[in-house]
Amino acid sequence: MDILDASAFIPTERILLGPGPSPVPQRVLRALAAPTLGHLDPLYLAIMDRTCTMLREVFRTNNPLTFPVSGTGMAGMECVAVNLLEPGDEVIVGVNGVFGTRMVDVMARCGATVHPLETTWGDTFTVDQLGDLLDARPRVKLVGIVQAETSTGAHQPLAGLADLVHERGALLVVDAVTSLGGQELRVDDWGIDAVYSGTQKCLSCPPGLAPVSFGPRALAAMDARKTKVQSWYLDVSMLRKYYTGGGGGGRVYHHTAPINMTYALHEALAMVLEEGLDARIERHAQMHRRLRAGLEAMGLRYLPRHSLHTLNCIGIPAGADDAGVRRRLLEEYGIEIGAGLGPMAGKAWRIGLMGHGASVRNVDLVLAALEKILRA
């Protein structure tokens, strides 16, 4: 029999402890099933506006242009890139994993000349390293950096980066896909000019939306463009007229919004704020420490020097069957963890503790299951 019988479509419930998506609470799933409204219905617009207000709270920003892009986290990356860059622009991108590599690709497709700032996968960048490259590339318009590198579990410190970047007249763009709602992130306090994330990680919402926020410097750069944005669908000069009613004349239709996904994000953000953002970030830190203590007691070691709380990347012990262990976790315990990517393929496991999944129950369960399988 096929693994999926189309006449009895009931997906198996998994304990999602991989690099994403994360477990979605029933409360969010119920919101997803609410009646669909039109994208210009006054009630829907009120829900959307409240969703954007809550996003500003979670991003810790006052940026008016903060909204969910229709698409997953990579759509957020592309939205930021195509709106801020024009052919011939020069950019610096920090590359220490898959998503820095993708940022290079996306920005190069915008016609920009990309200068990678590279380091070993799992390492992070210092202010001095970035400063040296900025000194060597005085025409750089934008610096892109990944705060939470999902492929390696590395946590990039952001303190001091904005001052350095702004002194050179450049913009600071941050990938916060695996950090928003789980790691400390202060868009305004840290001087971040544009930031993007995804709903399926620490917000514990289904995949399908990419929260973004554009600050004053980013808006000025967009307003000064000499060429059209290469993507019609992601053109913020048009999207802002729908999400904010900017430019006068009220809301202007652009594309049909993902109505029910907005319901889900609205409910997920409400849960974040009910818990309290500081308390939620501390919960992720506590669960990381609990998991780390258990893994290290089993003799397993963390690979990144500065580890995320939300994504734990550990070395596979000698003699362990990478795929076999992950398969047993899935088949016997219903637990999903992630494999290594790129240079870490076959050498690492990635255990996500994000949003609803960052709980004592899940930490203790994956530790017990992993220990039993490794002993065997």
Strand partners, 338: 350
User: Which DSSP helix (H) or strand (E) runs through 111?
Assistant: none
Pairing of strands 65-70, 209-214: antiparallel
345 and 255 in one domain? no
Residue 1 lies in a domain: no
228 and 348 in one domain? no
Residue 362 lies in a domain: yes
16 and 43 in one domain? no
31 and 173 in one domain? yes
Q: How does pLDDT run across 35-70, given as a tens digit for each residue?
A: 999 999 999 999 999 999 999 999 999 999 999 999
Q: How many CA atoms lie within 13 A of 310 on its CB side?
A: 32
Q: What is the pLDDT of residue 8?
A: 67
Q: Provide, rounded to the nearest whole percent, the portion of the chain with pLDDT above 90.
A: 93
222 and 328 in one domain? no
Whichever domain contains 355, its CATH number is 3.90.1150.10
Q: What is the pLDDT of residue 1?
A: 45
Q: How many residues in the chain?
A: 376
17 and 46 in one domain? no
Flag residues of the chain having pLDDT under 50.
1, 247
Q: What is the pLDDT of residue 250?
A: 75
Other CB atoms within 10 A of residue 258 CB: 17
Q: What is the pLDDT of residue 251?
A: 82
Number of folded domains that form the chain: 2
Q: What is the rounded radius of gyration, in angstroms, for the C-alpha atoms of the chain?
A: 21
281 and 209 in one domain? no
What is this structure's pTM?
0.95
367 and 226 in one domain? no
Reduced to 3 states, what is the DSSP secondary structure of residue 284?
helix
Q: What is the pLDDT of residue 2?
A: 59
Reduced to 3 states, what is the DSSP secondary structure of residue 149?
strand
303 and 255 in one domain? no
Whichever domain contains 214, its CATH number is 3.40.640.10
Q: What is the pLDDT of residue 245?
A: 72
Residue that terminates a domain, selected from 234, 254, 273: 273
Residue that has been written with the tokens 């219903």 in this structure: 334
Distance between CA atoms of 100 and 143, rounded to whole angstroms? 11
361 and 315 in one domain? yes
Structural domain span for residue 312: 6-22+276-375
